[in-house]
Structure 1
Amino acid sequence: MTKDVIALTQRMPDPWTLLAGLLSGGPDNLVDTTGEGAVIRLCDAEGRPLVAVESPLLVQVEGEAERLLGATPPPLPYWWTEARATTGVEHAEQLAGTFAARLATLADGSAWPPEAARSLAVVQTDGVTVAPTPATAQPTVDVLTDKVAVVIQDRPVIAMTAWLSDAFRTAATAGLGLQIVTPPGTTLSPAVRDSLGNWPSRWVMRDDHDGYYDGLTGAVLRWQDGMFAPVAAAEATADDPRTPVAASYQDVSATDERQLAVTFRTVHPASDHLELGGALESLWRELTGQPPAGWGTAEPANLPWSPRHLTDLARERAPEPTWIVVVGSPDRPGLATVRVSRTKAGVEEHVTLMFGYGPDEEPPVDTLPAAAELLATRHGLQSMLVQIRKARRDLAVPPRFEGPGVPLAFVLGPEEVRQMPDDRAHHTPLTQAPVPLGPKTRPALYYPFPGDPSDLSGWQDFERLMRHLKGA
């Protein structure tokens, strides 16, 4: 069942266009606003929200509608307007589709998914009433318990939209986990996967054979004690008392596609002249020959890449942290998440970056030392880990087993090397000596690993290195 409907239009939906879309569902529904006016809600007479409409978003980055929806949008720039129907409320989904179809007609565009957007005539009415706030008003989720908030999503890629990002924040503030339920065939954006690490948050896949399973671990799930959780031991077999793994999760095939993943941290002295994003852009250029294409505070990434604008946003939000997503051009799949935070050490950037490569494409492994040296000498690099693994070129996370990455390299920044006692950073238990980067008087150190995606023994060497550097 479709819950989200999106209008992609050439023209900005002005207030009268939005009103026409809302009224196309009929005069018996009331209009309310929330989120400081950023969200319009269509409600019934009791004030229960039927459809929530996000503020239109101007998308100036190529490839985002194709990546997240598999849809063909209008030419850049275009407007992206989301409507979400409340689950379990009669006619809510039809109202959302009607709204999106009317919006697409009036603002020159299309609605996604096409089968959900049924255009109906605009219904004339004498006016619109502000909906009363019901006493039982709850966050916009489908199921709410004392342990988790559950949301049901039916779109090809579950992205970190502004709505989903707000759902994560709302759940965390309330001390709850967030569980996302999706049908078969759905994938996750890496930005969402990285936000599901805290128990009891989960990606819950519906499955014809096993009912429900965890899309990231394969564990068969049941609704119990107010949340989706692995099946009890009594449901496991006598031969194997462990939690069963769904058959669909184990249905994998060999692939020649690969992903290169880079995680790094930088720290900068806080100053009025500081510009953030330079480390990410430098690394992106070294590995692809071009800068990032766009960025935003949610998906779709809607703004052209600009370190200056990123810095302005982080400065406005300080001392609160800033989270952003960065994407590449369609011909070179790339996605990064960046968290900027103010600490005692200065301004820190924590970056997770991924690139995808097809069977006929070689990851630029040879450029890694030069890229690491650039970050170490110009961008305040503290540490960096590079991994490679066999996984999808488009970076989407499937609900099936994908092998873990293996380490290609670890880099220790010059200040961290300097602070190591007893010349520990230079003399390690690894077979291969570290490669110094930058000035001889204050080098960073590059620790290479074999990096065979089929051989996990590299993690043993990585663990030995970490124990050594920590003095264990």
Structure 2
Amino acid sequence: MTKDVIALTPAMPDTTAMLVALAAGGADLDVSPAGDGAVIQLLGAGGRPLVSVEAPVLVQVPGETERLLGTPSATPVWWTETRASTAVPEAVALAGAVAGRLAEVLGGAVWPEGAGRVGGVEVASAASAAPAPVGALPTVDVITESTAVVLADRPVVPLTAWLSDVLRTTAAYGAALHVVTPPHCRLSLPLRSALTGAPNRWVVQDPGGGYYDGLSGAVLGWRDGTFAPTRDGAGQARPAEAFTRPDASGERRLTVSFRTEHPAERELTLGRSLEAAWRILTGEPPAGWGTAEPVNLPWSPRLLTDLARARVPEPTLITVVGRPERPALATVRVTRTAGGVEEDVTLSLGYGPTEEPPPAALPALAEELVARHGLISMLVSAGPGRRDLGVAPRIAPPPLPLSFTLGGAGVAETGLTFARRPPLALKPVQVGPARRPGLHYPLGDGTDPTGWDTLGILLAHLRTSVPTAG
């Protein structure tokens, strides 16, 4: 059974509704705030956190509940997430009782269906007598000196505000976050990016027994308080059989990674370059944005800009989503630099077996970004991937490059004549204003594996690098 239970309600959970819901655990449990008041915890007799209730989030973006939970819901809807500790067996039923009572009071629903039982839940005091360690992360399932382990079981495991806090806390202490899931779970693209590279890891329970890395496929074992690859006599990690079964659905993903730079002017509005790319590739603007999942705010470049300004000099990382009928998701990192303000964008779009990515639109996209949005560089690639943009724990061939675009500043630095004559059998297209043009380099149709070699030769010629967005 999942340890996450979510109440979806049409009305905001006010103080009265929250008190009624928290009372579902009985009068013997204590209540305590955490996370600077953003989390309410139900505590056992010895102070052990049993259930954490996140601050309600008003989700105003159509399709978010279906994307993350597989459950359609009318919007706007209030999303209140509860998480049970695995240290106490009764905590899961307690989380369901809290969410169920909240939905009952406000006329909503509970995910997963059937989890919101509102009957009495008795928690054995002996089972909860051990107090939580000072400074412990609330409701993290396992904590060692090197690793925090979170167990998750939901259709798509998202990068929630709570999980973002866990990531920041573990990083501050030089520790790892390992998210453990059954094999049927998928990661959202933002969480996949956050877990890419040591020391963080996606750990999948192998149906045949044991564990493996959901991104690399390496068989894992629990040693010295962390998950690590199990190596053979030659010191090599071995892949899990479950990981090596490829997806034969025929679904594909187009990935557009680009970086733009703007003068740090009062009139600057961020998000315009992403909106322009979204319109060219999908015919419509983004649907919503937010700093965590679920994405909760209707698309607004003005509000995005206000948030980024308020966070200077710290960078701002946001997630942007499209409408459910055209799956698209982007991550944007806004950074204040000595030269101005940079936006690093990774935009992903999903396509079914009978749908084709729009390669003919790429020159127009390059023209728009160079001419009006201060493009530094852009790489477009395509490869196998789920249409819904979830990441499954199985092997997939790497994407192949379709095109690379160098913005006006890079072309000027390299020299237009030199940049137009790479030692390759390709002809770049001049884009943008004639006085400061960029160059768009077609690299193939996404079927030739030598495309990466071609890109490497091109980048060496231009003495530049690909965008590092996402």
Q: Say yes or no: TM over 0.5.
A: yes
CA distance in 1, matches of 2:200, 2:112: 27
Indicate the residue corresponding to 1:404 in structure 2: 398
- Are the counterparts in 2 of residues 69 and 157 from structure 1 also a CA contact under 8 Å? yes
CA separation of 1:201 and 1:372: change in aligned 2, threshold 3 A: same
> Residue by residue, what CA displacement relative to the aligned partner does 1:167-219 show, whole Å, maximum 9, x if unpaired?
11111111112110001200010111111123021100001314100011111
> Residue by residue, what CA displacement relative to the aligned partner does 1:152-173 show, whole Å, maximum 9, x if unpaired?
1111101011111111111111
Letter of the 1:33 counterpart = P
CA distance in 1, matches of 2:130, 2:395: 47
Indicate the residue corresponding to 1:219 in structure 2: 218
Indicate the residue corresponding to 2:254 in structure 1: 260
Match runs of 1:62-211 below 5 Å: 62-73=62-73, 75-120=74-119, 136-140=134-138, 141-211=140-210
Q: TM-score, normalised by structure 2?
A: 0.94
Q: SS at the partner of 2:439? A: strand
Indicate the residue corresponding to 1:390 in structure 2: 384
Indicate the residue corresponding to 1:28 in structure 2: 28
- Are the counterparts in 1 of residues 269 and 301 from structure 2 also a CA contact under 8 Å? yes
CA separation of 1:122 and 1:174: change in aligned 2, threshold 3 A: closer
Q: TM-score, normalised by structure 1?
A: 0.94
> Residue by residue, what CA displacement relative to the aligned partner does 1:288-320 show, whole Å, maximum 9, x if unpaired?
110000011101111100000100111111111
How far residue 233 of structure 1 moved from its aligned partner, in angstroms, is 2.5
Match runs of 1:220-299 below 5 Å: 220-234=219-233, 242-299=236-293
Indicate the residue corresponding to 2:459 in structure 1: 466
> Residue by residue, what CA displacement relative to the aligned partner does 1:262-295 show, whole Å, maximum 9, x if unpaired?
0000111111111000000000000111000001
**Residue 428, structure 1, aligned to residue 428, structure 2:** no
CA distance in 1, matches of 2:131, 2:360: 60
Q: SS at the partner of 1:464? A: helix
CA separation of 1:16 and 1:133: change in aligned 2, threshold 3 A: farther
How far residue 422 of structure 1 moved from its aligned partner, in angstroms, is 8.1
Letter of the 2:64 counterpart = E
- Are the counterparts in 2 of residues 177 and 198 from structure 1 also a CA contact under 8 Å? no
**Residue 344, structure 1, aligned to residue 338, structure 2:** yes
Indicate the residue corresponding to 1:324 in structure 2: 318
> Residue by residue, what CA displacement relative to the aligned partner does 1:79-122 show, whole Å, maximum 9, x if unpaired?
00000111222311111010000011111111011232212269
Letter of the 2:460 counterpart = R
Indicate the residue corresponding to 1:373 in structure 2: 367
Letter of the 1:104 counterpart = A
Indicate the residue corresponding to 2:327 in structure 1: 333
Indicate the residue corresponding to 1:2 in structure 2: 2
CA distance in 2, matches of 1:471, 1:436: 18
- Are the counterparts in 2 of residues 7 and 112 from structure 1 also a CA contact under 8 Å? yes
- Are the counterparts in 1 of residues 231 and 238 from structure 2 also a CA contact under 8 Å? no
Letter of the 1:452 counterpart = G
CA distance in 2, matches of 1:27, 1:218: 47
Out of 450, 453, 457, the position equivalent to 1:457 is 450
Letter of the 2:160 counterpart = T
Letter of the 2:146 counterpart = K
Indicate the residue corresponding to 1:12 in structure 2: 12
Letter of the 2:314 counterpart = E
**Residue 305, structure 1, aligned to residue 304, structure 2:** no
Q: SS at the partner of 1:375? A: helix
Indicate the residue corresponding to 1:54 in structure 2: 54
Q: SS at the partner of 1:80? A: strand
- Are the counterparts in 2 of residues 210 and 220 from structure 1 also a CA contact under 8 Å? no
CA separation of 1:133 and 1:322: change in aligned 2, threshold 3 A: farther
CA distance in 1, matches of 2:461, 2:183: 45
Indicate the residue corresponding to 2:44 in structure 1: 44
Letter of the 1:5 counterpart = V
Letter of the 1:139 counterpart = L
Letter of the 2:105 counterpart = L
> Residue by residue, what CA displacement relative to the aligned partner does 1:66-87 show, whole Å, maximum 9, x if unpaired?
01001132x2111000001112
How far residue 137 of structure 1 moved from its aligned partner, in angstroms, is 3.9
How far residue 457 of structure 1 moved from its aligned partner, in angstroms, is 1.0
Letter of the 2:461 counterpart = H
Which runs of structure 1 show a deviation greater than 4 angstroms over 4 or more consecutive aligned residues? Answer: 131-135
CA distance in 1, matches of 2:189, 2:158: 8
Q: SS at the partner of 2:362? A: helix
CA distance in 1, matches of 2:130, 2:179: 29
Where in structure 1 are there 5+ consecutive unaligned residues? 124-130
- Structure 1 stretch 342-351 or stretch 414-423: which is displaced more? 414-423
Letter of the 1:219 counterpart = A
Indicate the residue corresponding to 2:125 in structure 1: none
**Percent pairwise identity:** 54
CA distance in 2, matches of 1:351, 1:257: 23
**Residue 443, structure 1, aligned to residue 437, structure 2:** yes
- Are the counterparts in 1 of residues 405 and 441 from structure 2 also a CA contact under 8 Å? yes
CA distance in 2, matches of 1:17, 1:99: 10
CA distance in 1, matches of 2:377, 2:390: 26
Q: SS at the partner of 2:386? A: coil
Letter of the 1:112 counterpart = W
Letter of the 1:155 counterpart = R
- Are the counterparts in 1 of residues 7 and 102 from structure 2 also a CA contact under 8 Å? yes
Where in structure 2 are there 5+ consecutive unaligned residues? 123-128, 466-470
How far residue 337 of structure 1 moved from its aligned partner, in angstroms, is 0.4
Q: SS at the partner of 2:281? A: helix
* Count of matched residue pairs: 458
Letter of the 1:25 counterpart = G
CA distance in 1, matches of 2:188, 2:449: 25
CA distance in 2, matches of 1:233, 1:429: 43
How far residue 424 of structure 1 moved from its aligned partner, in angstroms, is 2.9
CA separation of 1:471 and 1:118: change in aligned 2, threshold 3 A: closer
Q: SS at the partner of 1:223? A: strand
CA distance in 1, matches of 2:75, 2:198: 40
Q: SS at the partner of 1:24? A: helix
Q: SS at the partner of 2:264? A: coil
